[in-house]
Amino acid sequence: MQSTLNQPQKAVLPTKTNTISGSQAVLEALIAEGVKTIFGYPGGAIMPIYDALYDYREKLDHILVRHEQGGIHAAQGFARTSGETGVVFATSGPGATNLVTGLADAMIDSTPVVAITGQVFAHLLGTDAFQETDVINITTPVTKWNYQVTDATEIPSVLAKAFYIARSGRPGPVLIDITKNAQLQQFEYEGYQACTHIRSYRPKPVVRQDYIKQAAQLINEAKQPFVIFGQGVILGKAEMEFKRFIEKAGIPTAWTILGMSALPTDHPLAVGMLGMHGNYGPNVLTNECDVLIAVGMRFDDRVTGRLDKYAKQAKVIHLDIDPAEIDKNVKTTVPVWGDCKETLPLLTELIEQKCYPQWLQRFRDYENEEKITCIEPELNPTSDILTMGEVIKTVNELTNGDAIIVTDVGQHQMVACRYAKFTQSKSNVTSGGLGTMGFALPAAIGAKYGDPARTVVAVIGDGGFQMTLQELGTIMQSNVDVKILILNNQFLGMVRQWQQLFHEKRYSFVDIASPDFVQVAKGYGIAGQSINDRKDLKEAVSTMISHKGAYLLEVMVGKENNVFPMVPQGCSVAEIRLK
Amino acid sequence: MSKQEFTITVYTENQIGLLNRIAIIFSRRKINVESLNTSPSEVEGIHRFTIVIHEMEEVVKKLVRQIEKQVEVLKAYYNNNEEIVWQELALYKVSTDEIAEKVKVERLLREFGARAVVIRKDYTVFETTGHREETDRLINVLEPYGLIEFVRSARVAIIKASRGFHEKLREFELQEPSEHVVENEYLDKQDEVFSM
């Protein structure tokens, strides 16, 4: 089959013809797309691009990572805090396969990333050449789109398409594999045309006014409506539209882990986080509301618990840009497909100004119950043993909720997302769908480049930190100002918690030893300290925040503390346990 | 809801790797593809996949949405057997001696509407088109006479109700949203979508 890539739609203005290499065309495309920062790692098959990059050092900032996985997680972190597309370079073979975890993570969390990989010469494809892997087929299930370039003349249009696909509609990762001959090939460059249309691709479904009307009617007639939202609000840059909607509707509102920070955590209508370790009220009352309005979220199993007992009593309004999400897990009463930046204002216009004081009070009552059993012991513990929660509380106090919090995966992630306070959007960066341990450190590097003015705190467990701690080298070399906060419970805590609760305390391989993290950081020229006493906590966090440059703070916390509340797997959200 | 045969029709751009992208949507969910055919469509530059699977309608509906989500897919539809006209082609190789000796074989072949494609001294290849049961029946009757080889093609199908893809494509290609743009039209069947 021949490739039939779309030609640029607009006519190219006649310019002075100039001959450039495929590699230069790649870099020109990045500049044209507004890219300033690239995370990457060189190697044999991508050397022509790196050679060209040498002459573009003024225009493009390349951050040399220590592992390609770190490169793509950094690109993800960049995309999450900047709202732009992250870019990562890797070579063929192992360089490309090291991207796979990050691609899968970006795919499931809808993060716009363009990965550019080098590939062996086209004539060597399929010969088991040195560092040849079939990266296109390996990455097909974990990319929104991928494409192999073997001819340099395709590069401008393919990269234009890549950026358009990565960021439009429901965003996602795109991988472009470029053979070495195409990188080296000289061709007549006719300039760069951004892509705005692909024949077979409709990023946004058509907004249907009749569904908006039906949704508005359901909302207006509701007695106990409940709004739940996900990352769609952030990805759609619709925070203002969303806020106006819930404020007019007066409906209690909860977020998913990825939606978090789109609405200030102290908003009067905010009732907390959904899901397995979310708050008590939003979980229990999901099964009591009469109209459930889901905005830009995908009813992940960690949010819904047992599906056949999830919100069965409620009429469901689902706003999503991806038609494949409608009815995928939860049957919808009214599907409002479309970009929520467009649909929310239409809906806001048709709904009545309302408030539900009694209904909202029920959330507050559950919150009080949760406070006594779970929140107080975590934030203001009476024993001498430090808790993760009080560390997060201290961070909140010292940053006023203005910091970007990047979390890894496990207990510390759940605690951080439960207790972190946020005043602005794009502040919570975490690996939600894939649950990638090792995500936080490299993602924090990217997060800092994505929003350099803000303080970035990477909250990481002792297990996850050891998965990608080589990126301390990147922090050292590029002077990245990230605050590394290790919550060390000397266990793979979340697995240990499950083993305690569901496997009769058979602690199978969760007892993880760690090096002296402060010494490790010191080896990379990064200042730090370790504390295990409450009286040192505030000062230590304050030192970390005010330190000029990167800093590592290790806090030794209780070894066998558990995260509660918890919806046990296979249970309904209403069966959430407080202990 | 029980499993039944569904034919999925997918209109796509002609792009390397798309076959894999579509195939893994099934294999990821451990769904066996009974038959798969790719061919040009009536629209220039647009390819058409015809895929047959045995599944519950609810599952098929979700699969079709996942297929349609792929960047290079223009439209995907699913239909049950009542909604389509379909054919499969089968080839049968039998010994020429057997046919020459036993008149019955020739009669049988004529009965089944088979046509000789190649006649050689040692063997003859017959061709027949029809539904699975029809081509299967011919295998059964030929077997006693020494069926040497048999092969059957994937299903090709035409959707009875379709007004053709041309018109739809024209609507689809309109960039501005309009009342007439029919996207995700199977999602648009009110009684189906609105059942709880």
Query: How far is it, in rounded angstroms, from Cα A471 to Cα A68?
Result: 10
Instruction: Phi first, then psi: give them for residue B27, nearest 5 degrees.
Output: -65, -30
pLDDT at residue A16 in the model:
57
The ipTM value here is 0.90
Interacting residues of A279 by C-beta distance below 8 A, sequence separation 6+? A254, A271, A272, A273, A366, A367, A370, A418, A565
Statement: residue B188 has pLDDT above 50: no
pLDDT at residue B113 in the model:
87
Minimal CA separation from A438 to chain B, in Å: 26
Select from A145, A200, A201 the residue whose CB has the most chain B CBs within 10 Å, as the one to mutate to test that interface: A200
Are A252 and A356 within 8 A, CB to CB?
A: yes
- A199 and B184 within 8 Å at the Cβ level: the answer is no
B2 touches chain A (CB under 8 A): no
Q: What is the mean pLDDT of residues A179-204?
A: 94
Give per-residue pLDDT as tens, A387-430. Answer: 999 999 999 999 999 999 999 999 999 999 999 999 999 999 99
B65 touches chain A (CB under 8 A): yes
Residues of A with catalytic function: 68, 130-131, 180, 494
Query: How far is it, in rounded angstroms, from Cα A37 to Cα A63?
Result: 7
Q: What is the mean pLDDT of residues A286-301?
A: 97
Mean pLDDT of chain B: 83
Q: Where are the beta strands (DSSP E) in A91-144?
A: 113-119
Q: What is the mean pLDDT of residues A84-93?
A: 98
Are A446 and A75 within 8 A, CB to CB?
A: yes
Banded pLDDT at B106 (limits 50, 70, 90): confident
pLDDT at residue B100 in the model:
76
Say if residue B136 is exposed, middle or buried (CB neighbours under 10 Å; 0-12, 13-18, 19+).
Answer: middle
Banded pLDDT at A215 (limits 50, 70, 90): very high
- A198 and B17 within 8 Å at the Cβ level: the answer is no
Q: Where are the alpha helices (DSSP H) in A227-291?
A: 232-235, 239-249, 280-286
Minimal CA separation from B130 to chain A, in Å: 29
Mean pLDDT of chain A: 95
Region class of A406: left (phi > 0), else alpha (psi between -120 and 50), else beta:
beta
Amino acid at site B190: Q
Strand A186-189 versus strand A527-531 pairing type: unpaired
List of chain B residues whose C-beta atoms are within 8 Å of the C-beta of residue A162: none
Closest by Cα among B161, B172, B6 to B75: B172
List of chain B residues whose C-beta atoms are within 8 Å of the C-beta of residue A333: 194, 196
Q: What is the mean pLDDT of residues A556-576?
A: 95
Q: Which two tokens stand for residue A298?
A: 């995908």
Residues of B (23-52) whose Cβ lies below 8 Å from A = 24, 28, 45
Instruction: Provide the number of CB pairs (under 8 Å) joining chain A to chain B.
Output: 80
Sheet order of strands, B46-55 included:
B33-40, B46-55, B4-13, B73-80
Minimal CA separation from B81 to chain A, in Å: 24
List of chain B residues whose C-beta atoms are within 8 Å of the C-beta of residue A314: none
Banded pLDDT at A86 (limits 50, 70, 90): very high
Give CB contacts under 8 A, 24+ apart, made by B160-165. Answer: B160/B83, B160/B84, B160/B85, B161/B83, B162/B77, B164/B42, B165/B11, B165/B41, B165/B42, B165/B43, B165/B46, B165/B75
- A145 and B69 within 8 Å at the Cβ level: the answer is no
- A140 and B15 within 8 Å at the Cβ level: the answer is no
Q: Please, what are the domains in chain A?
A: 18-189 (3.40.50.970), 209-361 (3.40.50.1220), 381-556 (3.40.50.970)
pLDDT at residue B1 in the model:
74
Interacting residues of A175 by C-beta distance below 8 A, sequence separation 6+? A99, A103, A114, A115, A116, A117, A135, A136, A139, A143, A146, A147
Give per-residue pLDDT as tens, B65-90. Answer: 999 999 999 989 999 999 999 999 99
Q: Say which of B15, B28, B62 has its CB closest to residue A141.
A: B28
DSSP B34-103: EEEEEEE-SSTTEEEEEEEEEE-HHHHHHHHHHHHHSTTEEEEEEEEGGGEEEEEEEEEEEEHHHHHH-H
Query: How far is it, in rounded angstroms, from Cα A389 to Cα A398?
Result: 14
List of chain A residues whose C-beta atoms are within 8 Å of the C-beta of residue B62: 324, 327-328
Q: Say which of A3, A147, A324 has its CB closest to residue B65.
A: A324
pTM: 0.93
Q: Please, what are the domains in chain B?
A: 4-84+157-193 (3.30.70.260), 86-152 (3.30.70.1150)
B187 touches chain A (CB under 8 A): yes
Statement: residue A1 has pLDDT above 60: no
Q: Which residues of A touch B (CB under 8 A)?
A: 1-4, 136-137, 140-141, 144-148, 165, 197-202, 205-207, 315, 322-324, 326-328, 331-335, 337
Give per-residue pLDDT as tens, A89-110. Answer: 999 999 999 999 999 999 999 9
Statement: residue A167 has pLDDT above 90: yes
Select from B71, B186, B187, B188 the residue whose CB has the most chain A CBs within 10 Å, as the one to mutate to test that interface: B71
Least confident range of A62-71, A190-199, A244-253, B171-180 = B171-180
Statement: residue A315 has pLDDT above 90: yes
Q: Which two tokens stand for residue A62?
A: 């390349």
Q: What is the mean pLDDT of residues A357-373?
A: 97
Least confident range of A77-86, A114-123, B75-84 = B75-84
Are A316 and A292 within 8 A, CB to CB?
A: yes
**B182 to chain A: closest CA residue:** A206
State the first-to-last Cα distance of chain A, in angstroms, to the nearest integer: 60
Inter-CA distances, A58 with A55, A61, A82, Å: 8, 7, 21
Q: Say which of B17, B62, B71 has its CB closest to residue A198.
A: B71
DSSP A402-461: -SEEEE-SSHHHHHHHHH---SSSS-EEE--SS--TT-HHHHHHHHHHHSTTS-EEEEEE
Interacting residues of A139 by C-beta distance below 8 A, sequence separation 6+? A96, A99, A100, A103, A146, A175
Query: How far is it, in rounded angstroms, from Cα A555 to Cα A538?
Result: 11
Q: Which two tokens stand for residue B178?
A: 């309009």
Helix (H, G, I), strand (E, B) or coil at B163: coil
List of chain A residues whose C-beta atoms are within 8 Å of the C-beta of residue B178: 206
**B60 to chain A: closest CA residue:** A328
Are A455 and A482 within 8 A, CB to CB?
A: no
Statement: residue B181 has pLDDT above 60: no
- B62 and A328 within 8 Å at the Cβ level: the answer is yes
Query: How far is it, in rounded angstroms, from Cα A472 to Cα A273?
Result: 32
- B16 and A137 within 8 Å at the Cβ level: the answer is no
Statement: residue B136 has pLDDT above 50: yes
Strand A186-189 versus strand A482-488 pairing type: unpaired
Sheet order of strands, A270-273 included:
A270-273, A253-255, A225-229, A291-295, A315-320, A334-337
List of chain B residues whose C-beta atoms are within 8 Å of the C-beta of residue A197: 175
Give per-residue pLDDT as tens, A532-549. Answer: 999 999 999 999 999 999
DSSP-assigned beta bridge partners for residue A75: none
Least confident range of A410-419, A437-446, A516-525, B163-172 = B163-172
